[in-house]
Structure 1
Amino acid sequence: MKLRDFVFGVATGLAAAIIIKEVSERVDPYLSADTVLQQIKAEFKKEAPIDGSWVFMKTEEFNNGFTTAPVYRGGISRMMNGEMESFEFAADARSGAVLELTKL
């Protein structure tokens, strides 16, 4: 095998991997669950430190009576004024916007 053929094969494989990665990112219109959780945690941290957080990694359908949207469900707990506060949320999987927030 010539070095030229080997380099050509490696370059072709690398180009194919980059193209597949770009196409797969365009096909999945949802943000990752971790990204959504990080955005929500950043907003909560503006008021008080966070003690814990969680998020389901799979989307589910959320219906508010007018529309249906794919959401990630999760929760956050924090200490506020010496008391533990817990919240559950439903965040839009496309934009990360919180559609529902419930204090437990």
Structure 2
Amino acid sequence: MNWKKVAIAAGVGAVAGYAVKQQFSSNQNVTPEKALKIAKEAFKKQGPISGSWIYMKPEELNKNGINYDVYRGGISKNQDGETSQFEFYIDTETGTIVDVAETSA
């Protein structure tokens, strides 16, 4: 028996097993912390923010007939002496901002 071939086969098997495990693991590639960072960076492009929050548990959102697993969060901004609050939804798989709406303070 050639031990070199056995070692190579075991290595290839381990790599293939790891790849399959990653493929079938949870679809949530974006953590809530990363989702909040994405939202804050997007909102900062339009001026400073004064506060932010995010729910740690994903929710389901139906937008235009498509279901998304999303994180829901919020951003507060001071604009012209008034506080504006926005609610956002970020796809847990891609990190894409799916929806933003201004809420009443």
**Deviating 4+ runs (over 6 angstroms):** none
Deviation by residue 1:6-52 (Cα, 9 ceiling, x = unmatched): xxxxxxxxxxxxxx9xx579723311011011011011111111111
Number of aligned residue pairs: give it. 84
Q: Give 2:26's match in structure 1, choosing from 28, 35, 54.
A: 28
The corresponding residue for 2:71 is 72
- Amino acid aligned to 2:96: A
User: Given the two structures, how large is their TM-score scaled by the length of structure 2?
Assistant: 0.70
- Unpaired runs of 5+ residues, structure 1, are 1-19
**Does the C-alpha gap of structure 1 residues 81 and 25 become closer, same or farther in structure 2, counting only changes over 3 Å?**
farther
User: Given the two structures, how large is their TM-score scaled by the length of structure 1?
Assistant: 0.71
The corresponding residue for 1:100 is 99
CA distance in 1, matches of 2:37, 2:99: 17
